[in-house]
């Protein structure tokens, strides 16, 4: 009897203590998501801000069945963007981390500190510095260098392909320090004795990498890789700030799903449609996190 009473008080205590946080999340996170779901079923836009009507699943049909509306293109581009960025990130980060772990490298700590800088800088500041400092077609550093070699200035952010590549470069620049740090840490934890017998057998660097290093560090870096894949998929700042700022569009027409949703909401003011896009993205993200199974340690066991 006493025991049950004690258990009850524990439950009450638990909910009492977590209530402020949970109520905050319920009101500011969950409720707006549900409301977004409701808006997605209406024709709310700039002309129907208050006198909107429920139109059922029309917005979802427009997004998923009409290719010309651009959502499917944006989705494909986002997938492509994620794949290219993740592959490049993993390869480059692995190579750099391997260099940092070379035996006898004296300055490694200086290199580590310098390489981490882009991670420490505020992301949007870096992106704006890239836009004005590096890519600007008149006084950007890249074109200044080209000029020295007598090459015509390039409008880096003007065309779709070159803008995509420029965004990729900036995204790599922003994301690599984190990935290098993770792989660097993983490499340091690898037991060196694994390599000794392999070296005696005369295994090449490539063989050692593929048969020893990668299998050993895979479980260590896996959670970070999954999370980085998410952030890459959800990337907004790089593409928006480089190519789509209001009044400063560069002419490139590349959209990830997030910049697409934003444009439909706050530039063309098609709130119903944009909300439908938001819900679709949320469903994709949920499916993705169920597949990759990122669960806390205790639940995974």
Partner 1 sequence: MRRASKKKRREKIGLLTANVGLIVLCFIVLVPILYAVSVSLNAENSLLSSDFSFIPKKFTLDNYRAVFMDEPVLHWLKNSLILAIITVFISLGTGIPAAYVFSRKNFPGRKIILQLLILLYAFPSLLSMTALYRLLTPMGLLNTRAGLVIVYTGTMAVFALWNMKGYFDTIPVEIEEAARIDGASNIQLVTRIVLPLAKPTIAVTAMMVLIYVWNEYIFAINFMTGSDTYTLAAGLYSLQATEMSGSWPIFAAASMVVSIPILLIFFALQKNMQTGLTSGGVKG
> CB 120 → partner 1: shortest distance, Å?
4
Residue 188 binds to partner 1 (criterion: CB under 8 A)? no
C-alpha 114 chain-centroid distance: 23
Q: Rounded to 5 degrees, what are φ and ψ at 36? A: -60, -40
| Whole-angstrom distance, CA of residue 76 vs CA of residue 89 | 20
What is the per-residue DSSP string for 190-255? S-THHHHHHHHTT--HHHHIIIIIHHHHHHHHHHHHHHHHHHHHT--HHHIIIII-TT---S----
- Which residue from 17, 83, 165, 210 is in contact with partner 1, where contact means CB under 8 A? 17
Return the axis-axis angle of helices 108-115 and 71-100, rounded to nearest 10°: 160
> CB 275 → partner 1: shortest distance, Å?
6
> CB 187 → partner 1: shortest distance, Å?
14
Residue 30, both tokens: 């969950």
Residue 285 binds to partner 1 (criterion: CB under 8 A)? yes
DSSP state of 54: B
| Secondary structure, 3-state, 38-51 | HHCCECCCCCCCCC
Q: Tell me, residue by residue from 56 to 85, as one string, x for binding to partner 1 by CB under 8 A and - for no binding.
A: ------------------------------
> CB 223 → partner 1: shortest distance, Å?
6
- Candidates 54-62, 65-73, 153-161, 174-182; binding stretch for partner 1 (CB under 8 A): 174-182
Contact in structure between 44 and 54 (CB atoms under 8 Å)? no
Residue 244 binds to partner 1 (criterion: CB under 8 A)? no
Residue 200 binds to partner 1 (criterion: CB under 8 A)? no
Residues in 98-137 that interact with partner 1 by CB under 8 A: 99-100, 102-105, 107, 111, 113-126, 128-134, 136
Name the one residue in this structure whose structure tokens are 């750099």.
96
Short-list 252, 254, 267, CA closest to 76: 254
Length of the chain: 301
DSSP state of 68: G
Residues in 206-235 that interact with partner 1 by CB under 8 A: 223-224, 227-228, 230-231, 234-235
| Whole-angstrom distance, CA of residue 257 vs CA of residue 277 | 8
> CB 261 → partner 1: shortest distance, Å?
6
> CB 109 → partner 1: shortest distance, Å?
12
Task: Determine the Cα angle at 47 with ends 43 and 52, to 5°.
Answer: 35
Size of the site for partner 1 (CB under 8 A): 99
- Which residue from 148, 200, 219, 300 is in contact with partner 1, where contact means CB under 8 A? 148
> CB 18 → partner 1: shortest distance, Å?
4
Residue 291 binds to partner 1 (criterion: CB under 8 A)? no
Residue 181, both tokens: 């740090």
> CB 10 → partner 1: shortest distance, Å?
6
Residue 89 binds to partner 1 (criterion: CB under 8 A)? no
- Which residue from 33, 65, 76, 151 is in contact with partner 1, where contact means CB under 8 A? 33
- Which residue from 2, 3, 5, 11 is in contact with partner 1, where contact means CB under 8 A? 11
Q: 42 - beta bridge partners?
A: 54
- Candidates 55-63, 188-196, 211-219, 259-267; binding stretch for partner 1 (CB under 8 A): 259-267
């Amino acid at each position: 009897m006493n025991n049950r009473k004690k258990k009850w008080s524990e439950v009450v205590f638990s909910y009492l203590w977590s209530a402020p946080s949970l109520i905050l999340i319920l009101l500011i996170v969950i409720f707006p998501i549900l409301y977004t779901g409701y808006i997605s079923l209406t024709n709310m836009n700039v002309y129907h801000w208050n006198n909107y009507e429920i139109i059922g699943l029309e917005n979802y049909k427009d997004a998923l069945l009409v290719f010309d509306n651009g959502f499917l293109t944006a989705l494909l581009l986002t997938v492509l963007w994620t794949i290219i960025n993740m592959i490049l990130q993993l390869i480059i980060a692995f190579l750099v981390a391997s260099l940092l772990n070379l035996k006898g490298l004296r300055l490694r700590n200086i290199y580590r500190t310098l390489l981490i800088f882009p991670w420490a800088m505020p992301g949007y500041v870096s992106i704006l510095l890239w836009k004005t400092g590096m890519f600007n077609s008149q006084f950007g550093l890249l074109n200044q260098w080209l000029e020295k070699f007598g090459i015509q200035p390039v409008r880096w952010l003007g065309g779709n392909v070159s803008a995509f590549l420029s965004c990729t470069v900036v995204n790599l620049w922003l994301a690599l320090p984190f990935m290098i740090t993770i792989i660097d840490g993983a490499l340091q934890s690898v037991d060196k004795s694994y390599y000794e017998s392999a070296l005696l057998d005369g295994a090449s660097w490539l063989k050692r990498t593929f048969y020893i290093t990668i299998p050993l560090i895979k479980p260590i870096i896996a959670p970070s890789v999954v999370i980085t894949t998410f952030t890459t998929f959800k990337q907004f700042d790089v593409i928006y700030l480089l190519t789509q700022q209001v009044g400063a569009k560069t002419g490139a027409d590349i959209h990830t799903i997030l910049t697409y949703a934003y444009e439909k909401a706050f530039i063309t003011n098609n709130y119903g449609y944009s909300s439908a896009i938001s819900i679709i993205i949320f469903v994709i993200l949920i499916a993705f996190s169920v597949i990759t199974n990122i669960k806390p340690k205790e639940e995974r066991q």
